[in-house]
Every structure is written in structure tokens, then in C-alpha cells.
Amino acid sequence: MPEIFRALIPLDSHSTSAFQFALRYALAMCEKTGAGDIILLTHTKGQLDHTSLSRLLGDRTVKALTKGPVALEQGVRLHAETMRTLTWPARKSVIIVYYAETKILDFADGLRNVVGVVAVPDLPGEADDWSSRWGVIVHGEERQEPAPLIDDKIVVCALEGLTRMVNLSTGLGHPRDKQHADEVLRILRAKGHADPTPQIKSWAIRNGWRPGDAVKLEALSRKIWQLKAKPSLAGFYNPHERYNRWKSGEA
């Protein structure tokens, strides 16, 4: 799986410097990966021509982008897309996610043919979960290694086993895969483990789950840890043996 370069620009999204740095990072990613396209991704078309972004780009560029790609340096082309119009890029591309927050960053994480992502959040902190998920380059800060997300080794071992068992192309869409996920989480809850819900989505995305399926896993985890009493394991196949394997590090 090719490496995806990721950067966060924690500057005022309405400032010229935020856009300039975002573009500079994106061009560097293109040079490093051989990508020929940069996609400026916003939530809606109106964010391109009716916000501060239109001022940063300039009227001429905005008008040109509404008609098609704009040529940049190094033979790279700049495209404007929204969450509604963008499917999977046909060629290797770098995404600049402008006015970034959780929903649009999850969307970007689910795209293929993406070799780089640069996030410019509208408000401070709106891309922090995404940044922690990947251990991204934060402009102006020293590079940090990705955090483990979930510290409980038994929970991680169980989730790794679940990830290998589930068909990741369909996620929890198949009843058997959903049942297996439900059992794994219920066993962990019954054994007294702390709620992994706050980080389980990011963990799943980092480990190959599609963002939409990771959201479903998060919802299932939340449901199980909100149960008033610990779930019964009476109807499960070998729950204690399965748990002991996770405990010994066997997924």
C-alpha cells in the first residue's frame, strides 16, 4: 500500500498564508510522488466563490476553476471539487481539504488514488482527531510519531483479529461480520475493559477500514458500552477461550 503524505496547516483559514502554505505542501507532495493533480476540496461549491477562499484564489482563478483545471508550476493541475462532485480521482492526486473538519476529512480518507492530503481547518481543533489518527506533519511543529490510539493491548489484539475476519470491502454490511463484531465487543465489555469508542473509528480507519464502516463500528461500540449491565456471554461460542487468546496476544 503506497504511503500517503499528510499535513495540517493550523493557521487562520481566512489568511493568505494558510492557502499559500497548503499549496506549497501539496506541490511538494506532487513532486515527491509524481502526482500531476491537486484537488481543492470543499464542502460545497459556494465555499469556493462566496467565502474568503475566493479572495485568496482571486476572481480570475475561481472563474477558471469552475470551468476546469488550472495549470500550476511543475506541470501540475489544480481542480476544484466538492464532496458531492468528487468520486475517486482517475490519476494520482493530492487533496487540499479546505475548511476541514471531521466529516470532510473522513470523506478524504475514503478516496483512492490519493497520495497526499493537506488539511486547513476553519476553526482551531477541528482536525485534531484526524491529525492524531495519522501522526501528520503539522506546519510549524516538530514531526511526531502516530499515537497508538488505543492503549489496551487486549482490546487492540481483539480488534486486529476482527479486522482480519471481516470482509473490509463490505465492512459490517454482511450480517455474519456484524454479528462477529458484536460478539467481540460484548466479550470485551463483559471482561471489564474500558470503553474504546472515542478512538475506535480512527483506529479502524488507520487499520484499513473504510470510513463509513468505521463509523458503524463506532456506533456498535457505543451501543454496547452504554448497556446498563454487562452483557451475557452464554450464547457465544467459546467466549472465554477467545478472550484468553487475545490476552496472550493471539488475534
Full-model pTM: 0.89
Output the pLDDT for position 1.
56
Mean pLDDT of the region 226-251:
91
Q: Per-residue pLDDT tens for 22-40?
A: 999 999 999 999 999 999 9
Q: Are residues 36 and 74 in the same domain?
A: yes
Beta bridge partners of 93: 37, 114
Task: Tell me which of 95, 110, 138 is where a domain ends.
Answer: 138
Mean pLDDT of the region 215-222:
98
Give how many domains the chain has, as a whole number.
Answer: 2
Task: Tell me which of 94, 112, 138 is where a domain ends.
Answer: 138
Give domain status of residue 148, yes or no. Answer: no
Beta bridge partners of 6: 117
Output the pLDDT for position 235.
87
Output the pLDDT for position 88.
82
Q: In 93-210, which ranges are continuous DSSP H helix? A: 102-109, 128-134, 153-165, 175-190, 197-206
Q: Are residues 218 and 189 in the same domain?
A: yes
Q: Provide the domain limits for residue 201.
A: 153-247
Give domain status of residue 147, yes or no. Answer: no
Output the pLDDT for position 31.
95
Query: What percent of the chain has a predicted confidence (pLDDT) above 90?
Result: 87
The rounded distance, in Å, linking the Cα atoms of 145 and 244 is 31
Q: Are residues 82 and 194 in the same domain?
A: no
End-to-end Cα distance, the chain: 22
Residue, of 69 and 250, whose pLDDT is higher: 69
Q: Are residues 237 and 126 in the same domain?
A: no
Q: Are residues 127 and 240 in the same domain?
A: no
Q: Per-residue pLDDT tens for 161-202?
A: 999 999 999 999 999 999 999 999 999 999 999 999 999 999
Cell of 186: 460484548
Q: Per-residue pLDDT tens for 119-138?
A: 999 999 999 999 999 999 99
The CATH number linked to 10 is 3.40.50
Q: Per-residue pLDDT tens for 61-99?
A: 999 999 999 999 889 999 999 999 998 888 999 999 999
Give the lowest-confidence range in 58-72, 137-151, 202-216: 137-151
Q: Are residues 129 and 26 in the same domain?
A: yes
Output the pLDDT for position 2.
67
Match 446498563 to its residue by C-alpha cell: 228
Q: Are residues 97 and 173 in the same domain?
A: no
DSSP state of 57: H
Give the lowest-confidence range in 114-118, 203-207, 235-239: 235-239
Q: Are residues 48 and 157 in the same domain?
A: no
The rounded distance, in Å, linking the Cα atoms of 14 and 52 is 5
Output the pLDDT for position 172.
94
Which residue, 137, 189, 123, is CA-closest to 7? 137
Give domain status of residue 180, yes or no. Answer: yes
Q: Are residues 12 and 134 in the same domain?
A: yes
Give domain status of residue 65, yes or no. Answer: yes
Q: Are residues 160 and 131 in the same domain?
A: no
Output the pLDDT for position 30.
96
Q: Are 196 and 150 in contact (CB under 8 A)?
A: yes
